[in-house]
């Protein structure tokens, strides 16, 4: 290709060579970005560099378009027109590839942010739910402990009343023997009635205590259900 024969074609050839060299660099950058994407990596600096290369090729393509139009020989002019169009088409193709990559990358970043926000909200709600469960578990344990203590108190009360009943039976036997003795010595009727009244009071105290204990336990069990 003789530069003199194309009337400025030498300058056009230099611009064309520069455009092809930059296109090769931009194509290599696109391939590297796609490899990074498949490895879940990101390289914003490389994407910016590729964008600058494509912009520079477009600028060189505009210069080539002005230069080939000034070539006087039609065959040479048609040749450089086709070369200029090819450079422009390849630059456009690389630009579309870069825009698709950036769109996919932006979508992935948005999805990652949404997942992070969702996990943050879920973590906060989960902690709140766990706190509620913990408070309810503590309340249930407190109720169980209170119920167990009341049942133990009830059992203790029943045991005490049972012992009291046994003691009362023994006392009644002793009282009967004492009454027999007193009758033999002529004790007055008023003293005998006093002793019998005391026996009735003891009986009333015993059964009242048992009934009160049973009622309290029944009401507590109904309240904890």
What is the model's pTM? 0.47
CA distance 86 to 118: 48
Distances (CA, A) of 136 to 43, 126, 131, 133, 142: 51, 15, 9, 5, 10
CA distance 177 to 183: 10
pLDDT at 141: 64
Both tokens of 151, joined, read 């049942």
- Domain segments of the chain: what residues? 11-121, 188-224
Better pLDDT: 34 or 2: 34
pLDDT tens-digit map of 158-205: 666 666 566 666 766 766 776 666 566 555 566 667 767 777 777 777
Domain covering 11-121: architecture: Up-down Bundle (1.20)
**In 3D, which of 165, 164, 192 has the Cα closest to residue 179?**
192
Question: What torsion do the CA atoms of 184, 187, 192, 193 make, to the nearest 10 degrees?
Answer: 140
């Amino acid at each position: 290709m003789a530069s003199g024969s194309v009337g400025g074609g030498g300058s056009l050839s230099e611009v064309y060579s520069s455009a092809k060299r930059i296109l090769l660099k931009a194509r290599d950058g696109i391939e590297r970005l796609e490899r990074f994407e498949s490895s879940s990596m990101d390289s914003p600096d490389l994407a910016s560099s590729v964008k600058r290369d494509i912009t520079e090729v477009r600028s060189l393509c505009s210069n080539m378009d002005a230069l080939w139009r000034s070539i006087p020989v039609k065959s040479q002019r048609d040749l450089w027109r086709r070369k200029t169009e090819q450079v422009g088409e390849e630059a456009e193709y690389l630009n579309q590839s870069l825009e698709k990559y950036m769109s996919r990358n932006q979508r992935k970043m948005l999805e990652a942010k949404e997942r992070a926000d969702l996990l943050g909200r879920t973590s906060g709600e989960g902690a709140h739910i766990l706190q509620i469960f913990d408070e309810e578990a503590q309340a249930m344990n407190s109720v169980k402990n209170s119920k167990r203590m009341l049942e133990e108190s009830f059992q203790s009360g029943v045991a005490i009343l049972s012992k009291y009943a046994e003691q009362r039976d023994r006392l009644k036997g002793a009282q009967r023997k004492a009454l027999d003795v007193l009758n033999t010595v002529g004790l007055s009727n008023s003293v005998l009635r006093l002793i019998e009244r005391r026996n009735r009071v003891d009986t009333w105290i015993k059964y009242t205590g048992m009934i009160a204990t049973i009622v309290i336990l029944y009401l507590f069990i109904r309240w904890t259900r």
